[in-house]
Amino acid sequence: GLSRIGHRELTSTRHYNYPSNGGEGVRVYLLDTGINQNHYDFEDRVSVGPMLAKESRWGDIDNHGTPVAGIIAGAKYGIAKKAQIISIQVLGDKNTGDTETIIEALNWVSEEQQKHPGMSWAQKRGRRSVKANCGVCNSMSLAIPTSHLVDMTIERLAQQNITIVAAAGNGDPYGKSLDACIGSPASARLSITVGSSDSTDKAVSYSNYGRCVTLFAPGIDIISTSAENRTGYCIKSGTSMAAPFVTGVAANILGQYGPLPPQKLREIIIQLATPGVIKNIHDPDTPNRLLYASMAQEVPTAEGAITAATLPFFGNAAIAVIVAVFSQSFI
């Protein structure tokens, strides 16, 4: 996964260039099954927020949130290796959750930004060594049928510079792919919705499709941190493993350039993506783009190239939040 998004061409080279301070100052709120915060790869960069699931348990019983977090910010296999993660448990046993819990979690993040715009959760917990934040990311591990209430919440969060990264979804229970537009938050207008590709750049058969998909990222046989112990790793697949690659790249962009409006961040990720390389896309409305992780000094946009010199400095009080929604199945 890491090596593929680091190259324009499909290559056997297993090499990923990353900024040593990638994601520094960026907060990732992970809405999932929980995280094994004691894994050595997280280097004391994980804090535990509210446990909102109906059947909350300490840790990560289902071993899902931990590998997601490892893709985003793990020291060995992560994209943004200095990002800070706050776990919000919204899924109980067997990855079950509901719309009300998702909205409650999103509202909690929104309120955190309103109450403490210049201070991170870890800083409030006494970790004063954390750099003043320049962005925030949130991750959830489920999808729901299209919800007007969820979409309205996402629109409201966008007004606070909160960017939504959503998994396209893994199809129906029989493995048949579906239109990504039938589920929230993938269907939301401002979401960055991520499909899954394999090691040969083929769209995975169960990865949802359609105009609501923004781009693809690797999602098959991804190695990441395991919840089972402090040093272990596991192999996972699905759109819920593809989406955190996008979150990590977004965190690196925010860490380098500072807070950006959701529309701008989405545009940058689209413009950086490698076009036309995904095979087996059967739906003509599905964009053919593969995530690219270059941290070049110039970032192309419709208004011209963005550079560190041309970006405005928003200061510590400005917040850019990425809500990465990693779906497994509809409930």
240 is catalytic: yes
Which of 60, 62, 64, 87 is catalytic? The answer is 64
Distance CA(24)–CA(29), nearest Å, equals 14
Where in 198-238 does DSSP place strands (E)? Answer: 215-218, 222-225, 233-236
Question: How many residues would you count in the chain?
Answer: 331
Strand partners of residue 233: 225
Q: Structure tokens of 20? A: 């040593």
Q: Please tell me the distance from the alpha carbon of residue 83 to that of residue 75, in angstroms, as a whole number.
A: 10
| Active-site residue flag, 60 | no
Which is it for strands 26-32 and 46-51: parallel, antiparallel or unpaired? unpaired
> Going by C-beta distance under 8 Å and a sequence separation of 6 or more, which residues neighbour residue 56?
89, 92
64 is catalytic: yes
Dihedral of the alpha carbons of 183, 184, 188, 194, in degrees to the nearest 10: -70
Catalytic residue among 147, 197, 240, 327: 240
The one-character DSSP state at 131 is P
- Decide the pairing of beta strands 144-145 and 84-89: unpaired
Tell which residue, 47, 142, 153, 49, has the closest CA to residue 92: 142
Q: Could you list the active site residues?
A: 32, 64, 240
